[in-house]
Amino acid sequence: MVTMSQVRSWRPDTLGLVADAMVQRRRTLVALQDEMDDGAPPSTWVSESREAAVASHTTLRESLADLVAEVAQVAAALDIAVDAVTRARVELDEALAVASANGFSISTTGRVTDNRDTLTDDQEVADRRAIRDEIVDKIEQALRNAGHADTSLAAALRSAASGVDGGTSSLGQAAATGTAGGQRGVLEPPTGGSDHDLNSWWEGLTEDDQASVIREHPEWIGNTDGIPAWARDEANRELIDDYRADLTGQLAAAQDAGDKGLAQTLTEKLDGLDAVEDTLELGNRQLLVLDITGEDQLMAAIAYGDVDTADHVAVFTPGFTTTVAGDMAGYDSQMANLVEEAAAQSDKYGAGGTVAAVSWLGYEAPQWDNVLDPGSSVASRAPAEAGAGNLASFYNGLDASRDADPHLTALGHSYGSLTTGLALQEQTGVDDAILFGSPGIGTSHIDDLDVSDGHVYRLEARRDAVADVGGLGPFGIDPSYIDGMTGLSTEDGSTGGVEYRESVGHSDYLTQGSMSQHNMASIVAGVPEQTVEGDTRGFGDILSWPLPWTY
């Protein structure tokens, strides 16, 4: 990898002069076409020496074509390198400007140091760390781009030096061949990079390179957190046909081998692709995750609305028995309704802002078939733990992919609230969390969640037995008893003059017109003052009361 001092010593203007000179040479050489044509032995020349003259002329013409191609390749590669190095220099200058404006210094080796005295306030420390990370990201991206420019130019020069075949056509065609050879490949995403690194990589690409990635390497970005939603969406849509063909081929092989279990799994994944396409047909959706590599299930996430620009973004994680094939359409509809309700509240109460919501089925939720399998049973934390890493990364990626963080709300239902609760124990950009119909959130202490005080909400409907099994499994105590969570009403009635329908049972929380949906929409829309609080503990909660000294 090139160093910062190397890049700063590079002179793209000088490189530009060389590129200009090479372009001029290319033009001069291509302009020799007429002379070459005029110098060809005429057809009226009839003698033994004509054959030798023709051979000599052909050799000369082809050598000239090769030379034109080589010069054109070098000219094109230089031209591209000038742009790339200039961009890298600009990115470095931006990093230096941000550092200077915020009291950081950057050493010649690229080390970033905070010049401020010891900080004591946690928020200030976090803010300074964020600025430092931004500077580091810019430097790393500049060096990646500079390195890629250097490597690409070196490769083009080596190739030209070893000879380029200019073909047997015209010199103009030879120049076109050389120019094509001088184009560089797209810089690949940094392996093992953070979502900020990946976003910097993406933003560092030219528009042409971005289009090329979507067209030729959609698998690089479709499920990559930190990449803007519009690009993930386009990439994942590009992949649907390939995935369908892949799964269809695997299905045929499984059927030939008589593997009924695998055939069933693959059939369900194909059904899931159908469900994804049916949902995308409705428009105003973004396909943010599409993953066929799960052991048992297709994984997918579809946003309703524009995640790149929405002021408020909600991410909904469902639970037990959820599959893309069986549930994506229904959850998508519920998220669309939630967005509509939240946007209406945003309008009506004047807080303002657009809303988007994601149905995130980006993990393999436990199924009835796996109840007895400790590795994937609903009675274990394993599926939730496996999903929580993906989910936390997804949350962080939403922030990293945008210039301004959205107001981000995590919604977790049933077993999905466990997955959500575990994800929120990592550092995420989640501003509000709503856990409903929850058997447990993976902890008995709200301080374990990386969400500000007063911003974690729970809802429990009457006759929702699932919400009372906390403490029975390894999920933490019943969330009804976790101190610091704000209970939101699921009842009908007229609390504060508000009249909404009651939610009953385990699967009614997101029903249009219900109190619970209203409350969730208020949180999502950033108008928590419009919620109706309520403590809906029932008989089941008496049974799930945790002994205070046991957790």
Partner 1 sequence: MTPTTPAQPAASPGPAPTMEQVLTDYTAMREEMVSALAGALGERAWRESPNSPGLRRSRVGGADPAAEQVGLVTWSFEGTYAVDAWHGAARLVAEVGRRHHFTDGGITVDRPGDLEIFGVDAHGGRYTFGMATNTILTLRTGPHRWEHPPEPADQQPT
336 is an interface residue for partner 1 by CB under 8 A? yes
Rg of the Cα atoms in the chain: 31
466 is an interface residue for partner 1 by CB under 8 A? yes
DSSP code string of 159-218: HHHT-----SS-HHHHHHHHHHHTPPPPPPPPTT--HHHHHHHHHHS-HHHHHHHHHH-H
Shortest distance, CB of residue 229 to partner 1, whole angstroms? 8
- Count interface residues toward partner 1 (CB under 8 A): 70
Task: With H, G, I as helix, E, B as strand and everything else as coil, classify residue 505.
Answer: coil
Give the residue with the Cβ less far from partner 1, 294 or 353. Answer: 353
Give the residue with the Cβ less far from partner 1, 86 or 333. Answer: 333
**Is the separation of the CB atoms in 390 and 414 below 8 Å?**
no
Q: Which residue in the set 34, 207, 281, 483 belongs to the binding site for partner 1 (CB under 8 A)?
A: 281
400 is an interface residue for partner 1 by CB under 8 A? no
**Structure-block tokens of residue 254:** 């499984």
Q: What angle do CA 464, 426, 129 make, to 5 degrees?
A: 145
What is the contact mask toward partner 1 in residues 421 to 450, using x (rule: CB under 8 A)? ----------------x-x-----------
Q: Which residue in the set 330, 487, 493, 546 belongs to the binding site for partner 1 (CB under 8 A)?
A: 330
**Is the separation of the CB atoms in 470 and 450 below 8 Å?**
no
**Is the separation of the CB atoms in 441 and 476 below 8 Å?**
yes
d(CA 125, CA 123): 5
346 is an interface residue for partner 1 by CB under 8 A? yes
Give the residue with the Cβ less far from partner 1, 147 or 366. Answer: 366
Shortest distance, CB of residue 361 to partner 1, whole angstroms? 11
Question: Which stretch, 46-54, 109-117, 256-264, 505-513, contacts partner 1 (CB under 8 A)?
Answer: 505-513
DSSP code string of 55-86: HHHHHHHHHHHHHHHHHHHHHHHHHHHHHHHH
Shortest distance, CB of residue 547 to partner 1, whole angstroms? 23
d(CA 90, CA 94): 6
Q: At CB < 8 A and 24+ separation, what contacts does 90-97 make?
A: 91/138, 91/139, 91/141, 91/142, 91/145, 91/204, 92/4, 92/7, 92/8, 92/138, 92/139, 92/142, 94/138, 95/135, 95/138, 95/139, 95/142
Q: Any idea which residue has 């070098």 for tokens?
A: 74
Question: Which stretch, 6-14, 40-48, 78-86, 277-285, contacts partner 1 (CB under 8 A)?
Answer: 277-285
380 is an interface residue for partner 1 by CB under 8 A? no
322 is an interface residue for partner 1 by CB under 8 A? yes
Question: Which stretch, 28-36, 188-196, 425-433, 508-516, contacts partner 1 (CB under 8 A)?
Answer: 508-516
Give the residue with the Cβ less far from partner 1, 157 or 329. Answer: 329
Closest CA to 131 of 88, 101, 170: 101
Name which of residues 66 to 95 contact partner 1 (CB under 8 A): none
Say if residue 264 is exposed, middle or buried (CB neighbours under 10 Å; 0-12, 13-18, 19+). middle
d(CA 429, CA 426): 10
Shortest distance, CB of residue 348 to partner 1, whole angstroms? 5
Give the residue with the Cβ less far from partner 1, 42 or 497. Answer: 497
416 is an interface residue for partner 1 by CB under 8 A? yes
362 is an interface residue for partner 1 by CB under 8 A? no
What is the contact mask toward partner 1 in residues 223 to 262, using x (rule: CB under 8 A)? ------xx--------------------------------
> Which residues form the interface with partner 1 (CB under 8 A)?
229-230, 278-286, 304-309, 318-322, 326-327, 329-334, 336-337, 339-340, 343-344, 346-350, 352-356, 368, 378, 413-416, 437, 439, 465-466, 469, 496-500, 505-508, 510-513
